[in-house]
Amino acid sequence: MGIVERKEREREEMRELILEAARKLFLAQGFDKTSIRNIAEAIEYSPATIYLYYKDKNELLYSLHEAGFQKMMKDFSIVEAIKDPFEKLITLGNQYLKFAIDNPELYDLMFIMDAPMETLSCREEAWDEGARSFEFLKITIAECIEAGHFKNTTDIENASLTIWSFMHGLLSLHLRKRMAFFEDDREMERIQNAFKLFIEMIKCTY
């Protein structure tokens, strides 16, 4: 009898329905301003129903987390066509910048918000999507080292963390409005210039 199969399928469809509604609302109006009741209303179910499919709001956030990493990895995949390792690294950086600026709410969720990281499942099974992205950076850097860059650096993980830190810092200062005191509206230009300078710094490193 295929009843259990059908029920399982229906359950998965319901999970997807909730997640899709959540994503739309979250990306449209932000995470804080989206309530369980909003999501329930959007799918025309009672708020309590959502709790039959997701443990709590954090688990819902966390599911979007994974989708975000998948999207980012897809954006990254275009660099695989590039042969020159350093050119690859630069393009990877540009793709990271573009991803964050095009999907600010998603980037915020993945790298800035602290709510989803408090979920237990986080340290365990998942964020290996996050770890995989970091691995991608590590591989690219390893290729750069092999091609003669980062001459005095042997610790690939350290180099990766350093580069990630800079990129993330630049973006989160922007996303969390800490560059606002510059008062002009050349914020994008400033981001581009800082990125260029950092690239120069990497180039020079003997």
Partner DNA sequence: CAAATATAATAAACAGTGTTTAGTGAAAAT
Partner DNA sequence: ATTTTCACTAAACACTGTTTATTATATTTG
Positions in the binding site for DNA (CB under 7 A)? 1, 3-4, 6-7, 11, 14, 34-38, 44-49, 51-52, 56-58
Q: How far is the CB of 198 from a copy of itself (least distance, A)?
A: 6
Contact set with a copy of itself (CB under 8 A)? 111-114, 117, 122-123, 127-128, 130-131, 134, 152-153, 155, 157-159, 161-162, 164-170, 172-173, 176-181, 190, 193-194, 197-198, 200-202, 204-206
Is 44 or 114 the residue whose CB approaches a copy of itself more closely? Answer: 114
Q: How far is the CB of 81 from a copy of itself (least distance, A)?
A: 28
CA distance linking residue 48 with residue 53, whole number of Å: 10
Is 11 or 176 the residue whose CB approaches DNA more closely? Answer: 11
CA distance linking residue 93 with residue 160, whole number of Å: 12
From the list a copy of itself, DNA, none, pick the one residue 47 interacts with, judged by a Cβ distance below 5 to 8 Å according to partner type.
Answer: DNA
From the list a copy of itself, DNA, none, pick the one residue 185 interacts with, judged by a Cβ distance below 5 to 8 Å according to partner type.
Answer: none
From the list DNA, a copy of itself, none, pick the one residue 11 interacts with, judged by a Cβ distance below 5 to 8 Å according to partner type.
Answer: DNA
**Region of residue 44 (phi > 0: left; psi between -120 and 50: alpha; otherwise: beta):** left
Is 53 or 164 the residue whose CB approaches a copy of itself more closely? Answer: 164
Reduce the secondary structure of the chain to three states and give it as a string. Answer: CCHHHHHHHHHHHHHHHHHHHHHHHHHHHCCCCCCHHHHHHHCCCCHHHHCCCCCCHHHHHHHHHHHHHHHHHHHHHHHHHCCCHHHHHHHHHHHHHHHHHHCHHHHHHHHHCCCHHHCHHHHCCCCHHHHHHHHHHHHHHHHHHHCCCCCCCCCHHHHHHHHHHHHHHHHHHHHCCCCHHHCCCCHHHHHHHHHHHHHHHHHHCC
Is 40 or 106 the residue whose CB approaches a copy of itself more closely? Answer: 106
From the list DNA, a copy of itself, none, pick the one residue 125 interacts with, judged by a Cβ distance below 5 to 8 Å according to partner type.
Answer: none
Is 36 or 97 the residue whose CB approaches a copy of itself more closely? Answer: 97
From the list a copy of itself, DNA, none, pick the one residue 178 interacts with, judged by a Cβ distance below 5 to 8 Å according to partner type.
Answer: a copy of itself
